Chains A and B, each alone.
Chain A
Amino acid sequence: MRARVYVTLKPGVHDPAGTAVQGGLVSMGYEEVRSVRIGKFFEVEVDDDLSAQHAGGPRARLEEMCRKLLANTVIESFRVELL
């Protein structure tokens, strides 16, 4: 099974990189750009048989991976899509 994981900054957390990209776009003439926020995107492939052995199945496992490693839950939130 494949999964997509999106990790994004929580609302309100300052995104210096996004701000710099927004400024860059505006200075290049894309004046309509009001804000840019940058996140991370993961494609994860998991073994169906193995993940079925865990309570909650692949979604629970992937969310656990997000909490433990993929996302810094101090400042980031995540979303898991199973394909």
Chain B
Amino acid sequence: MNPGNEQDTITDEMVQKHGLSPEEYQRLLGVLGREPTFVELGVFSVMWSEHCSYKSSRIHLGRLPTTGPRVLIGPGENAGVVDLGDGLAACFKMESHNHPSYIEPYQGAATGVGGILRDVFTMGARPVALMDSLRFGRLDHPKTRGLVRGVVAGIAGYGNCMGVPTVAGETRFDRSYDGNCLVNAFCCGIVASDRIFLGTTGAPGNKVFYVGAGTGRDGIHGATMASTEFGEGSEEKRPTVQVGDPFQEKLLLEACLELMQGTAIVGIQDMGAAGLTSSSVEMAGRGGRGLLLRLDLVPMRETGMVPYELLLSESQERMLIVIEPGREQEVFDVFRKWDLSVAEIGEVTDDGVWRCTWHGEEVAAIPVAVLTDSAPKYDRPQQAPAALPGLPEIVDPDPVGRLPAMLADPDISDKQWIWRQYDHQVGTDTVVGPGADAALVRIKGTRKYLAYVCDSNGRHVVLDPFVGTAGQVAECARNLACVGATPVGLSDCMNFGNPRKPEIMWQFARSVDGMAEACRALGVPVISGNVSLYNETDGVGILPTPGLAMVGLYEGPPPRVAGRFPRGGLTVALLGGVGRSLGGSVYARQFGFDRHGSPPLVDYAAEVALHDALRALIGAGAVEVAHDLSDGGLLVALAECCMEGVGGIFNVGGDAGALYGEDHGRALIAFAPEHAVQVRALTEGVSFRELGHTGGDVLRLADTHGYAVAELQAVWRNSFPEWLNAGAVATLATA
């Protein structure tokens, strides 16, 4: 066999540069039965990378509950799908783009959004909502401002151009992200439940089409990069960053959905990380067939490209489509209408071999099963890290007086500066947009609304990965209940450090188990997700950050519930008990105790009772406001409710735990006095405590403190943009 490439003999150095360990290379030799060509080495390096093979995480992910009455497609496809009834389904996934965003924030974040959109419309779904979960380092770290500006501009630049509203998100800060920001992007689409498309091949003889943008030398080895720790010298990896073209992707979206109206497509797969290689191998694997790819027929953007580059390029906005023979003209017609590249590059074969040729010469021939099933799977050693210190007693003579400082905290302050840069209304279905507990988006022509929330709380998870992650699942479900919705599915984006460290692997495994327990208890299946490991710089790992995105369904007349007090004269009550847990809280962090103590526990029965009560209250129209308690606890939640300008008088006081404890299972509600009896009836079995009444423009607390709402608003609204503008470094170079 002639590799058709410049290098024939594989050296140890080449193996190492491809990110394969000596043991993995021996495994490769064993399963292949011969030495690979240089092209084949590249193929194995991406297919066996952490990013594509999930080699360190796979055995743990199997413990997650992935089935349920609504689940049509679980993990393993481009995105998961849940049934919404009446012939409709929701298709969604969350995915990380952390490393590329740190290296080039604008393009890294933009292509992260582009990738998750493709994952969804590949399935035949029209994307209807985006969310983003972002993590950055300390505010006073010199890189943070530039990363925030670049990442936000990149998300805006891509999502806005695509015409898909970014309806929710969350942004938090911690020193552990100084050298490793997190960008987790979520997309949900709507699809007819009998028109879901999969990445498969069908019968031998079917034709393989390449559609979308041409292939360049972008991001070669990007998938390998995403699996290697950052360190000195990572600057050199810069040329691997790919450039996004949302305009091209918008055309690709419309063209794919147009072709999907017909019956030509047998299978379709996005070319994401590891590009043509992983997309074609995955299709062949699912179809149980072989594939022949004629690489010289791939549309190219640059001259002089070689098979190795074509197979490993991560050029964006490309798809692989398999059709039945005889339907070629339909594909050409649609993609030419949209001015996109389209080429027939190969066919499905019956020998189970993944084969590539270059002007008629074979350059790679590997049994598909070898590529898909023989990837290494590791049960890496785990060890609980040394116990963190307990939370010391915090001396604070005036905890209520700390409220303004809490509202100015970077994890709590208003992020309007971010979400105003995102078009959150295009599509004209956004009933509740960013800044609320959860977004609520209508499905036109139905009485259905989908609710969206994303959340992750590394502060809690680092103290106890099991409990912290379970708490996050509960928090997401509670957020959905605050807009009246019932959870239908979860997508998880597991951001962790170096899995070769037993402490990190322990965090990962415990986090998975906590998620599994909470998802079972709350009846929420995990239908999609991804794992991002090696989030470390110079040996320092990030907080364990399982990013969760949960989708809920509400059916009925338009729900009328807000997260802020709309008017005076309402009764305000706390559902759930009095708080006391300050471990991992924003309050404790303000005193420097952010790696101390233990996170709040989850009482599943109380959670379920609370969520049911919230849904009943909203469904009956009995409450005008529902707002979940989370970061900053009761007092911050109460102040947030005042941020439309309406204050009130509330009997809220006590110690810091009662004011700022981040205990789960709690929410604030506000209702007209005439609904009091109905409210009490619908909250039976849930701890209920009346706090006071809305009215006026002052927030009065426990007869001891009074804050002009306007002053609190100013602190909450301005602290984040003031910090950004204080370092008004021009962003010319990144935008």
Contacts and interface: CB of A to CB of B under 8 A. Distances in A.
Are chains A and B touching directly in their complex (CB below 8 angstroms)? yes
Interface of A: 10, 12-16, 19-20, 23, 68-72, 74-75
A77 to B, nearest CB: 12
A14 B318 CA distance: 14
A71 B733 contact: yes
Contacts of A20: 247
Interface residues of B, number: 26
A23 B213 CA distance: 13
Contact of B734 (A13, A15, A23, A72): A72
Given A16-B243, A69-B733, A74 B104 contact: yes
A27 to B, nearest CB: 8
B241 A75 contact: yes
A19 B245 contact: yes
10 contacts: A10-B239, A12-B217, A12-B218, A14-B242, A14-B316, A15-B243, A23-B339, A71-B733, A74-B239, A75-B104
Contact of B241 (A23, A69, A74): A74
Contacts of A13: 218, 243
B681 interface: no
B216 A12 contact: yes
Given A14-B242, A16-B247, A69 B732 contact: yes
Given A16-B243, A71-B733, A74-B107, 20 more contacts: A12-B217, A12-B218, A13-B218, A14-B213, A14-B216, A14-B218, A14-B245, A14-B301, A16-B244, A19-B248, A69-B732, A69-B733, A70-B732, A72-B104, A72-B734, A74-B104, A74-B239, A74-B241, A75-B104, A75-B243
Nearest to B104: A74
B209 to A, nearest CB: 21
B10 to A, nearest CB: 26
A15 B243 CA distance: 8
Interface string B211-239: 00100111000000000000000000011
B302 interface: yes
Contacts of B216: 12, 14
SS of A interface (majority): loop
B730 interface: yes
A72 B733 contact: yes
Main secondary structure of the interface of B (DSSP, over half): loop
B595 to A, nearest CB: 34
Given A69-B733, A70-B733, A74-B241, A14 B315 contact: yes
A19 B244 CA distance: 12
Interface string B107-145: 100000000000000000000000000000000000000
B302 A12 contact: yes
Nearest to B315: A14
Contacts of B238: 74
A69 B730 contact: yes
Contacts of A10: 239
A47 B448 CA distance: 65
A75 B732 contact: no
Nearest to B244: A16
A72 B153 CA distance: 15
Nearest to B103: A74
Contacts of A23: 339
Nearest to A27: B339
B734 A14 contact: no
Interface string B82-118: 0000000000000000000001100100000000000
Contacts of B339: 23
A43 B316 CA distance: 34
Nearest to A11: B302
A12 B315 CA distance: 11
B553 to A, nearest CB: 37
B247 A75 contact: no
Contacts of B103: 74
A13 B244 CA distance: 10
A70 B731 CA distance: 9
A16 B248 contact: yes
Contacts of A72: 104, 733-734
A14 B239 CA distance: 12
Interface in B466-507: none
Interface in B10-29: none
A69 to B, nearest CB: 6
Interface string B297-324: 0000110000000000001100000000
Contacts of B218: 12-14
Q: Which 5 A-B residue pairings sit nearest by Cβ, starting from the closest?
A: A16-B245, A14-B243, A72-B733, A74-B104, A74-B238
A75 B302 CA distance: 16
Nearest to B106: A72
Contacts of B247: 16, 20
A25 to B, nearest CB: 13
A75 B105 CA distance: 12
Q: Chain B CB within 10 Å — which of A10, A12, A14, A23 has the most?
A: A14
Interface in B236-264: 238-239, 241-248
Interface string B268-311: 00000000000000000000000000000000011000000000
Nearest to B216: A14
A26 B238 CA distance: 33
A71 B238 CA distance: 14
A16 B214 CA distance: 11
Q: Indicate the member of A13, A15, A20, A23 with the most B CB atoms within 10 Å.
A: A13
